[in-house]
Amino acid sequence: MVLKLSDRNNLIYLTLALLTLLLLIAVAEQTASAWGRDLMQVGFLLVLGVAMWTVRRHRGLFRSAVGVLGVVVLITLVSLWFSHAGLRLLQLVLLSGLFGGLAWLTFKQVLFTTGPIDANRLSGAISIYLLLGLIWAVAYVGVLEVDPHAFNGNEAGPWLESIPEFVYFSFVSLTTLGYGDISPATPIARFVVYLEAILGQLYLAIMVAGLVGIGISDRIANRSD
């Protein structure tokens, strides 16, 4: 697959959007205020907007993503007046699905497109790592919705209030730092945590090997021309 000119920097913009989202999540947790949570929701919309732009050339995926995003927005609006555990879980599942689909499309563009290893491709590799952390953060909040006692060091509450702490916990687990201020307390929670730690290490190995292989193949191709 050969990328068009307009697609060359899409993953750079995605990485910047993800980093902005993480900053807004940190601000929301630091301020512990309603406007901080509003900023965080703006960050989610920013990332999803960039995601829509990223997949715009895949018409079928674009339409599906628009539909899912519309459902997420609708559920969010309904949740403002009618709070229900089922609605919150559905919102988290859809959000996780959007992040997961975006990670898969980014993975395909990074490893399965022609061309040299450039800043856009490297940014894509970073974006996938950030998306993995966000996917698992959403999964942890989902586990907490089902079982309020699934984690030690955290009190169950609305997912918009809980997700900043679990974004932190997710990246701590993904990088295997393991500070211990938040810890899984149930077998299911422990399973999700060690699955993330394993996937984090496998991702680094696979991505590095893939990029090295692409670099070697591109160099060989240039020499043969």
**CATH for 100:** 1.10.287.70
**For position 156, what pLDDT does the model report?**
63
Q: Please count the structural domains in the chain.
A: 1
Confidence of residue 62 (pLDDT cuts 50, 70, 90): low
| Closest-CA residue to 162 (of 46, 25, 43) | 25
**For position 139, what pLDDT does the model report?**
93
Q: What is the dihedral of CA 24, 129, 104, 169, to 10 degrees?
A: -60
| Mean model confidence pLDDT for the chain | 80
- Calculate mean pLDDT across residues 14-35: 83
Question: Model pTM?
Answer: 0.83
> What percentage of the chain carries pLDDT values higher than 90?
21
**For position 212, what pLDDT does the model report?**
83
CB atoms near residue 52 (< 10 Å)? 16
**pLDDT tops 90 at residue 186:** yes
**pLDDT tops 60 at residue 113:** yes
Q: Which amino acid is at 11?
A: L
User: Domain containing 124: what range?
Assistant: 5-224
Q: What is each CA distance from 26 to 39, 113, 166, in whole angstroms? A: 10, 34, 11
- Calculate mean pLDDT across residues 160-176: 88
